[in-house]
Amino acid sequence: MPFKRSSQVGQQMKRELSGIIASQLKDPRLGFVTVTDVELADDLRYAKVFISIYGDPAKQKETLKGLKSAKGYIRRELGQRLQLRNCPDFDFRIDESIAQGDKIDHLLNQIAKEKKPDADQ
């Protein structure tokens, strides 16, 4: 199976976006943000950037607003770092997989407790 250029650039984008967000953005609305994945279109024109944000839904919403307002700066920095002629347009999306995994883990633990025979009997 041939390796797609979009996959390689997506991994580089993930690494560079993490660095830009962590060290160069000083917006007070930004909370603790982790870039979890980047899905880049095959033509490299559009990317979905999945992020995990620590905090309650209100904090997540504020962080998304901060990221969206810094989008132009982030694109310019990213284009320079990756030496891309045209930096892809991207959309930040909250990665729900961690919360869903925690929910599944909690349910499995509940089931295991219910199936465990009482030690008193």
DSSP state of 30: -
- Would you say 53 and 94 are in contact if contact means Cβ atoms under 8 Å apart? yes
DSSP state of 28: T
pLDDT in tens, 19-71: 999 999 988 888 888 999 999 888 889 999 999 988 888 888 999 999 999 99
**What CATH number corresponds to the domain at position 61?**
3.30.300.20
Domain containing residue 59: 5-96
- Would you say 31 and 54 are in contact if contact means Cβ atoms under 8 Å apart? yes
What residues are paired with 39 via a beta bridge?
Answer: 48
- For residue 102, being part of any structural domain is answered with no
Output phi, psi for 53, to 5 deg.
-120, 125
Helix 5-23 and helix 71-82, axial crossing angle in degrees, nearest 10: 120
Q: Which tokens is 74 given?
A: 């982030």
pLDDT in tens, 37-48: 999 888 889 999
- For residue 37, being part of any structural domain is answered with yes
Q: How many domains does the chain have?
A: 1
